[in-house]
Amino acid sequence: MARFDGRQAGYIEATRRQVPGLDDLHRMTGLLLAERIAEEGRILVVGAGGGLELRALAQQHSGWSFDGVDPSSDMLALAQQTTSCHSRRIRLCQGDIRAAPKGPFDGAVCLLVFHHISPQERMETLRGIRHRLSPGSPLVLAHVSFPQGEPDRSLWVERHIAFGAGAGMEKWDAARIGMMKRLVIYAPEDEQAQLHEAGFTDVAQFYQALSFRGWIAYA
pLDDT tens-place string over residues 150-208: 999 888 888 888 887 755 555 555 655 666 667 889 999 999 999 999 999 999 999 99
pLDDT of residue 138: 98
Beta strand 107-111 with 138-144: parallel, antiparallel or unpaired? Answer: parallel
Residue 142 clears pLDDT 90, i.e. is over it: yes
pLDDT of residue 6: 46
Q: Which domains does the chain have, with CATH numbers?
A: 6-146+185-218 (3.40.50.150)
* Tens of pLDDT, residues 63-105: 999 999 999 998 899 999 999 999 999 999 999 999 999 989 9
CA gyration radius for the chain? 17
Between 35 and 159, residue with greater pLDDT? 35
pLDDT of residue 175: 53
The predicted model gives 106-117 an average pLDDT of: 94
* Tens of pLDDT, residues 40-68: 999 999 999 889 999 999 999 999 999 99
* Tens of pLDDT, residues 113-131: 999 888 899 999 999 999 9
Taking the CA atoms of residue 116, residue 120, residue 122 and residue 126 in that order, the dihedral angle to the nearest 10 degrees is -160
pLDDT of residue 167: 52
Q: Are 105 and 44 in contact (CB under 8 A)?
A: yes
| 15: confidence class by pLDDT, cuts 50, 70, 90 | confident
A 10 A CB-CB count for 205 gives: 14
Query: Please, what's the b/e burial string for 18-32 (b: 16 or more CB within 10 A of its CB; e: otherwise)?
Result: bbeebeebbebbbeb
pLDDT of residue 157: 84
